[in-house]
Chain A
Amino acid sequence: DTGVSQDPRHKITKRGQNVTFRCDPISEHNRLYWYRQTLGQGPEFLTYFQNEAQLEKSRLLSDRFSAERPKGSFSTLEIQRTEQGDSAMYLCASSLGGGSNQPQHFGDGTRLSIL
């Protein structure tokens, strides 16, 4: 069990640029989640995948955000035309199967800073 891996750990970019983050879940986990955590707050749900299908998106996920999980393995989260308000920690989690009783395992996150 190598855990959930996220890359990069830190990203600094100028406002208006596009950024992409990657998440590699635990290998046998078919569910993958993205959360956003701002300073002093708990993580907030953004979206999740069951295998390669994106099944739910939060209203927090504006049309500048897009997430993919081709082939049901790793996932990417892209933010286009970044804004100051996008500065946050982006966390990825994975779980084995569905059901609310399956605990989610988190990666160390990607911290995004918008200049």
Chain B
Amino acid sequence: AQSVTQPDIHITVSEGASLELRCNYSYGATPYLFWYVQSPGQGLQLLLKYFSGDTLVQGIKGFEAEFKRSQSSFNLRKPSVHWSDAAEYFCAFSTGTASKLTFGTGTRLQVTL
């Protein structure tokens, strides 16, 4: 079955520390991959996307993600976290003509000062 797994439900990091959020997908081919961020009571904002080509993609707010085909992973990273990065982060992929997104269950990031 097609699915996205985010193994970490909740992560706490100190401001200024580095961050890595894990994402694994299950799909028969390489899907289009996305990371979205959601602040409480808000919709989702696109951080970055991977379609093809360079496996390291840059996004907004200093985030980057690396696609690893051999591991079916698309982990999100940031070298130095800011308190304003505290939010829920969702990994997703889209496939087929509908382009509907399949989301993981999310990782809640807490940032301590």
Q: How far is the CA of A98 from the CA of B94 in the complex (A)?
A: 11
**27 intermolecular pairs with C-beta atoms under 8 Å apart:** A6-B43, A41-B106, A42-B90, A42-B92, A42-B104, A42-B106, A43-B101, A43-B103, A44-B103, A45-B100, A45-B102, A91-B43, A93-B44, A93-B101, A95-B99, A98-B97, A98-B99, A99-B99, A100-B94, A101-B51, A102-B99, A103-B34, A103-B49, A104-B101, A105-B46, A106-B43, A111-B41
Residues of the A chain whose Cβ atoms lie less than 8 Å from the Cβ of B46: 103-105
Chain A residues in the interface with B (C-beta under 8 A): 4, 6, 31, 33, 35, 40-45, 48, 55-56, 91, 93, 95, 98-109, 111
> Does B58 have its Cβ within 8 Å of any Cβ on chain A?
no
> Does B32 have its Cβ within 8 Å of any Cβ on chain A?
yes
Interface size band for B: 20 to 34
The answer to whether A31 and B99 touch across the interface, beta carbons within 8 angstroms, is: yes
The answer to whether B44 and A43 touch across the interface, beta carbons within 8 angstroms, is: yes
Given contacts A42-B106, A99-B99, A100-B99, list 12 more A-B pairs with CB under 8 A. A40-B105, A42-B90, A55-B98, A100-B96, A103-B34, A103-B46, A103-B49, A106-B45, A108-B42, A108-B43, A109-B42, A111-B41
Q: How far is the CA of A93 from the CA of B36 in the complex (A)?
A: 13
> Does B95 have its Cβ within 8 Å of any Cβ on chain A?
yes
Q: Which residue of A lies closest to B98 (CB)?
A: A56
